[in-house]
Structure 1
Amino acid sequence: MAYLHGVETVEVTNGARPVEVVRSSVIGIVGTAPDADPEKWPLNTPVLTIGGAESVSDLGATGTLADAFDALFAQGVGLTVITVRVEEGAAIADTLSNVVGDVSERTGVNALWSAQALFGVSPRILIAPGFTSQRPSNLANPVVGAMQGFADRRRAVIIADGPNTTKEAAYTYRQDWGSDRIYIVDPGVTVYEGGETVVRPASAYVAGLIARVDRDEGYHYSPSNHEIYGITGTARPIDHFLGDPDTEANYLNEQRIATIVRDQGLRLWGNETTSVEPLNKFLSVRRTHDVVADSIQAAHLWAVDKPFSLQLLVDIAETVNGFLRQMTALGRLLGGRVWLDPAKNTKETWVAGHLYVDYDAEAPAPMQRITFYFNRNTGYYDTLSAKAVAEIARLTA
């Protein structure tokens, strides 16, 4: 230390750090736009847009991206979107191939991997309207399959469009998937456009709805039972009556397929992903746990490569505990706590520079089913009789 004759102040930065919640509703979209400005929307390159319709004014009117952005903006929120434009092929098979893209060349869906490096954000809601509903050669949709690896590693969810034909076809489509990161919506929606009613994929409308629910209520809320804006109906009528299990809406939900019902507005109806693990079946629980894990992870960059010390361990624990307490107070979590497991944290692991931190937490499940028991009670006739006798006696007194 340098020689000093006098007084100095050294700022010590010990203590818990604030945890900033990661963005929960960044949307990643892959599609076509043949008339787009190629300089602003280069092929197979992630493009970041923030805000409203003015941000995509030079996207052109043709292809799938323009309709998708109309659907997103119809939900009434300013959006953060990572867009990948691909070339429209001569046939749907060619376009599907372009949307899937190449892993090594980072084209199509695989271009989304570059978003974090380019913009510092990664998409958490993935859509490719018009390209996730097909089953080429009666096989699983290749675009959804290509998105799965990204969704698993980047903690994102995929909003996939069902086949938009029959409930039987939707059932067959659903059997291709068993992931808690895939949320299927069937059928498509109708919109009024150019003086006529046309059918559009539902996925972009649902993605925009999720962003709206995140903003207005929080990512721990399910998007189900929320009204979808900007649509006039569904591509086929969906039978629904609250409390009746023998409806198409209930059949689809039982198969873990979300749908859209008409009940005091046109509402998204369905909470469940295609997960084979019952604990992970609810979309809102999956997304909340993702946000918690990513927020805690991102909040500890400051601790990486610091030397082991008691103060450092306490600071990490208190940082996590403080965040879990905050999320619990806000209703995002039911509770949570942190601890160090001595079986994992040995002198061998610490001398190797490896710290293990355990914490638990649980997001609230959506109240998907409410059962009321209506009990007959003829004893109320005794009450009525007593009141009647008293009232008649009063009138005749």
Structure 2
Amino acid sequence: MAYVHGVRTSEVATSLLPAAEVDSAITIVIGTAPINQVDETNVNKPVLCYSYAEAVKAFGFQKATLKDTGFKNYDFTLSEAMYAFFQLYNVAPVVFVNVLDPKKHKETAKTTSLIIDKKTGSASIKEAGILLSSLVLRKDAGSEPYVLGTDYVTEFDDDGYVVVTSLTDASTTDFKLATDADIVVAAEVLDPTKVTSDDIIGGVNADGVKSGLELVEDVFPKFRVAPSIIACPRYSGDAGVAAVMSAKADGFNDIFKAIALIDVPSTVKNYTDVATFKNSNNLTSTNEVVLWPCLNMSGTIYNFSSQFAALLAEVDNDNSGIPYVSPSNKNIQCTGLCLADGTEIIVDNSRGSYLNGNGIVTANNMFSGWVAWGNRTGAYPGNTDVKDVFIPVRRMFNFISIQLAKTFWQRIDFPLNRRQIDTVLDSANILLNGYTSKGYILGGRVEFLESENPTTDLMDGKAVFHVYITPPSPNREIDFVLEYDPSYLQTLFA
């Protein structure tokens, strides 16, 4: 040690660690988007969006369109989810992944001609999904193509249609595009109906490039947020998609857990058949929430998972970002229940109880307007462990496990001595005590037990801390016992 003459100071690490913040309802939505409006290469790339504008800039937006059934449906599921999150519920952030690939999910445009307005020099191609990279305009079938940027420009209107605007000749001020007859149009359009369950499931190719649900693993390394909800609106009704969603929700990045939102498809038309579908398709996992039917919002139909994911975020936000409150009996944005074709579905209290008793979440309109209805995960009724079958309890276990992992990751590789053990114990117990005092849990503690830490494990650098927590169960039933009391007849003689 060097010779010292005077006063010296030094520092040691704080023995208590502040808890890491965890966003409780980060949703990853995997589906289809009208990327022809923005970037045709935005395929199988996770994008974290904090606003509607960010989402539209990355993925475009296509309004729900009127179908032959008389109801509106979204052709692109990411547009549906974007509208639900940012417009109906005003919650963020969300991670979106588009799997629709213009190279293979396309068809020839039905539009073959266009009339340019003589006054404005513009015309709209009334067909959604036009790929600008494929658009060719000619005066007639035998002429050379008009040149984009030289003869005309394009933009998308609010309905997602391409607006073609002719440029003018500098010397004559005449429009360069013919206005005296139909011009010939050739183009390709996105076809979301060609997206299959295999596209949603995705995988890893020979070059190590991931797609579909495999990209769940990339969210935390890329954005430093961990998805706690996985949604694939419309496609999750496929048993293969649901199985992979459940597997990812059970654990990813070797640390995190989530819940998977499963839409029962509209091929299941009767409430009594939903339980049969759930069981026959093995939708019985503790990390699955099974949803039926669709939601009708003033004539626009939503897959239940699009709104339920946003509802979870809204409820968490209303409760300090802690997922201890059930989404059941909380208002959802709908005016009725229906199948995908608009067929009305009625769910009264008895039908709702039947569905809930089979581990299915639905909605009803009893006393508080339209609300989500049901607290159970898909594991119920085959599994009755409280930590597995109540949605808020399951989510609290996931939430606290992620928080512990993020908080104490910084302590990995510290010397396994008493100071290390006390730092973990004290910091974790302060965290749980705070949750207890605020009512997020009924109680909690962390212990370092000799029985769970054999000498050989300690020698090998392994330490086990036993966490006891009791999130409150949702009060799903309130009973009032009424009795006639004849003693009050004496009031007649008062």
TM (normalized to structure 2)?
0.71
Secondary structure of residue in 1 paired with 2:230: strand
Question: Displacement of 1:142 after TM fit?
Answer: 1.5
Letter in 2 for 1:117: P
Q: Flag structure 1 segments of 5+ consecutive residues without an equivalent.
A: 135-140, 242-246, 388-397
The reply on whether 1:380 has 2:488 as its aligned counterpart is: yes
Secondary structure of residue in 1 paired with 2:244: helix
Letter in 2 for 1:224: S
Residue 371 (structure 1) aligns with: 479
Change (3 A) 1:71 1:22: same
Higher-Rg member (1/2): 2
Match of residue 254, structure 1, among 314, 334, 357: 357
Secondary structure of residue in 1 paired with 2:235: coil
Report matched runs for 1:190-229 at 5 Å.
Answer: 190-192=296-298, 197-217=299-319, 218-229=322-333
Question: Displacement of 1:262 after TM fit?
Answer: 0.9
The reply on whether 1:272 has 2:382 as its aligned counterpart is: no
Question: Displacement of 1:306 after TM fit?
Answer: 1.0
Question: Displacement of 1:38 after TM fit?
Answer: 5.7
Letter in 1 for 2:264: G
- Structure 1: distance between partners of 2:46 and 2:428: 33
Match of residue 442, structure 2, among 318, 328, 334: 334
Letter in 2 for 1:360: Y
Identity of aligned residues (%): 26
Residue 295 (structure 2) aligns with: 189
Q: CA RMSD in A?
A: 1.9
The reply on whether 1:79 has 2:92 as its aligned counterpart is: yes
Question: Displacement of 1:254 after TM fit?
Answer: 1.2
Question: Displacement of 1:359 after TM fit?
Answer: 1.9
Q: Flag structure 2 segments of 5+ consecutive residues without an equivalent.
A: 63-74, 106-190, 339-343
Question: Displacement of 1:361 after TM fit?
Answer: 0.7
Verify the 8 A CA contact 1:36 1:60 in the aligned structure 2.
no
Verify the 8 A CA contact 2:347 2:363 in the aligned structure 1.
no
Verify the 8 A CA contact 1:99 1:143 in the aligned structure 2.
yes
Secondary structure of residue in 2 paired with 1:24: coil
- Structure 1: distance between partners of 2:276 and 2:84: 27
Report matched runs for 1:36-75 at 5 Å.
Answer: 36=36, 39=39, 42-51=42-51, 53-58=52-57, 59-61=60-62, 62-75=75-88
Letter in 2 for 1:102: G
Residue 100 (structure 1) aligns with: 201
Residue 144 (structure 2) aligns with: none
Secondary structure of residue in 2 paired with 1:57: helix
TM-superposition CA deviations, 1:323-365 (whole Å, max 9, x none): 1101111111111112111123233222211111112111100
- Structure 2: distance between partners of 1:108 and 1:2: 60
Change (3 A) 1:93 1:271: farther
Residue 262 (structure 2) aligns with: 160
**How many residue pairs align between the two structures?**
369
Secondary structure of residue in 2 paired with 1:22: coil
- Structure 1: distance between partners of 2:229 and 2:445: 28
Letter in 2 for 1:125: I
Which of the two has greater helix per residue? 1
- Structure 1: distance between partners of 2:328 and 2:248: 25
- Structure 1: distance between partners of 2:14 and 2:417: 11
TM-superposition CA deviations, 1:290-348 (whole Å, max 9, x none): 11111112111221111122222111110111111011111111111121111232332
Change (3 A) 1:371 1:107: same
TM (normalized to structure 1)?
0.88
Match of residue 325, structure 1, among 430, 433, 437: 433
The reply on whether 1:312 has 2:420 as its aligned counterpart is: yes
Verify the 8 A CA contact 1:14 1:311 in the aligned structure 2.
no
Secondary structure of residue in 1 paired with 2:96: strand
